[in-house]
Structure 1
Amino acid sequence: MQNIKLPSRLVGIGLYTPAEASLYTGISATDIRRWLFGYTAHGVQHPGLWDSELSDVNECVLGFHDLLEIRFVHAFRQHGVSLQAIRSASQQAKELFNQAYPFTCKRFQTDGRSIFATVMGETGDEALLDLIKRQYAFEQVIKPSLYEGIDYTGSGSAQRWYPVKRSKAIVLDPSRNFGKPVLSGTGIDTAAIFSAYRAEGRDVKRVARLYEIPIAAVEAAVSFEQRNAA
């Protein structure tokens, strides 16, 4: 990414390569590239599902909201929903909610079924039948865990994300460190802590002294980075 010319508006947007997005979400980088930046199949070019927040950057990179939205696309694909249907649902929800990233919007939890019903009428995608007819099936796909850990602004837009369940030790916040994972309390990059941990012979106490942070904070950063590296 050395040759990327970063736009002046980058601060507050977040910046992730598909490989980094894969680490943080557990979704393959290949799928992320296909869904967001498009692909070619049988000589036909298929565009991405939406334009990246950083579409003016001449590189395949994601913004913070792209990162979160991709998690919902993955849930739909796991249920067999076609990319055509997902694209249509995204466009309709954008207009209905007046939100650029509608799947992440909390309203999708309540209005998503009716949107998919409309989409099924347009696309004939039978994978949507369960989602439309059975509330339980819809709730299993649009799990509360997809929304868990997301803080929202007053307008309903995602503001930051705590990726570790039931913990606020680590946060991805586009206003801090270009959206890369940091310790919530100090803003220190978790990758930097993990690097120091390995350099210092995996001595947690020594790293805590070096950074002047609690041992628990070092352990949280190390655990997060080790999970990503697994």
Structure 2
Amino acid sequence: MTLDFFLRLIAAFGCGIVIGLERQWRQRTAGLRTVTLVTSGACLFVTLGVLTGNGVAGVTQIAAYVVSGVGFLGGGVIMREKGTIQGINTAATLWCSAAVGVLCGAGHYGPALGGTLVVLLTNTLLRSVSHIINASPVSTADLVRSYVLTVICREEDEIHMRALLSNAMSSSPLSFQSLTSKDADEARERVEVQAVVALHPKDQPKLERLASRISMEKGVSSVGWEGLKTEPAVE
């Protein structure tokens, strides 16, 4: 039984090293030591169920606790920075590493090796595929970007300008978000009319043409637009 225990632990340790080397090479938050500890720890917990003679039910119950514990560990490597979420792939790798350790602890060496290969292929080959997809033209992406169109005009032209913008939005593939006005100077001779719209980045030239057309209107002193954040489109 002692020999079998060490075989399982060595298998988990070896699989952890293989997965961890790839993570360490890419300078991820959870590298060689973390992944190896996860696989080895998961193996030790499951082996405990085998050694205590609790049978399949005991091993399954311990494996469930391992999954929950690794979930908290994975949550610790997920970070939000400047509007983007980082570390999800690292957390998923830890989760899969725990599964490999559980398989080794249960004595299923073949599936454990298969799981290790799947994790490596996912983090290497599929990484290249995802980069190719991300490098594709933005016109193929399902995205929505917010834009702010600002028009400075005479106070007496405010109503005309708001109507012009409203009509332009209804005839173009622009999703109207808001339309506001405010005084552009202390003398209240100029008014700033601001429209917030959402559209696919590939339709940005239509917004540029709209801005050019408005700039030729009588009483307009300046027109400008600014792109804001880009988000996935709602399914």
What TM-score do the two structures reach when normalised by structure 2?
0.24
Larger strand fraction of residues:
2
Structure having the higher helix fraction is 2
